[in-house]
Amino acid sequence: MQRIFLKGIKGGTGATSMVANLSCVLKRSGSDVIAIDLDSKSDLGLHFGLPWKYSQGWSNVDNFEEALQHFHIDSDGIVFLPFGDKTTKTADIFNTVNNCNKLDYKNNTWLIFDCPAHIDITLYPLTKNDIVVEIVNCDAICHSLIYKKLQKLKQADNQWKHFFLVNRYNSASTLEFDLFSLWQSTLPLVAPFFINSDEVIKESTAYRNVALNCAPYSVANDDFETLAGWLVSKSAL
């Protein structure tokens, strides 16, 4: 099993839609995928076709054994667990991460966590085989936050693989082009590619689906396939 932790370096970077689309691409490649929503907004299920009126998830039960009844399977065969609508503590989120190790899965399973932006990733119960991907946008706020996070990572005793990935990249923007070029030349943890801004992401979310199903030949789909292949290569290291 390979555990992937995706989180926005700040709110609104598009991390949840990235979890959903990445899960779909990995599933289409023949691997089993389990997606876990750790964010109290509980939006992940909407990308997998879960009705918005459904509000139950792991936060609504007292133990992980009871949470098993809230797992769902979408039309692509992706297994996912919604957050729910009950207020939780940070410790409850970390316990859920640890409890997911009890799941019955195949060796080639990808366990993907949709993490809230406000909880520092260095506090999670991470292991040396885990991959952390922090989602950033090419703007001045993310520029500042990346350098702050790099300073914190230097102080942390981390053994996991940690990367920054640019999402919603607009190639027509001079500022975004300059920032991405700067990050590529000065920051060792920035992924060597980006996820382009693509209207199909918004459209597919409106249909409670993912880009691959709504527009299989879109730029977004190509980008997520690149991301999936890159993660496969990183997991093999």
- The per-residue pLDDT for range 130-150, each reduced to its tens digit, is 999 999 999 999 999 999 999
Provide the whole-model pTM: 0.95
> Cα(198)–Cα(168) distance, rounded to whole angstroms?
7
Is the pLDDT at 207 greater than 90? The verdict is no
DSSP state of 122: G
Domains located in the chain, CATH noted? 2-235 (3.40.50.300)
Q: What is the rounded CA–CA span in Å between residue 39 and residue 84?
A: 9
Dihedral pair phi/psi, residue 49, rounded to 5° = 90, 10
What digits encode the pLDDT tens for the residues 143-202?
A: 999 999 999 888 877 789 999 999 999 989 999 999 999 999 998 899 999 999 999 998
pLDDT band per the 50, 70, 90 thresholds, residue 28: very high
